[in-house]
Structure 1
């Protein structure tokens, strides 16, 4: 069994999905499910907190892109928050930061 890499917290009309550890082929399904659940709740804003993410691979990036697109289709404000320097570099190289706002 893989370690839990997501947690979901609702505060009014803002939902935060906190990710931790390594987001890769072994854990990406948890990310997809958490983002899907968050979008289904139709918050005004969805924040993906990445402060505790050590690594993200292409499958993790794909899950973020999919979550962003689903949120956008529902007119939900989707943001990434607090990625580490290394994770921010991966997000930048992927081009994701050109379309998804990042909170400090």
Structure 2
């Protein structure tokens, strides 16, 4: 994931608890959890992806439910996440433009 995400402008990586996380403007937009990658997207996009793709599920790190803006993409081969590059870019832009609560 580092190879894929760290080449995007403004992205940094660090570890938070047990998660390898990726940030833009000091806000997390993606992280590696279990067998997949958690990704923050608009709630409407999250719902659409969960219904349209069999490899997208609600993000539940450690079995705990998260916000409706988080999904998890599960792929058997890490190299296949390259196919989700546009989704990672969209997440980065969404989080970069999000206001802090």
Q: So what's the TM-score if we normalise by structure 1?
A: 0.30
TM-score, normalised with respect to structure 2:
0.30
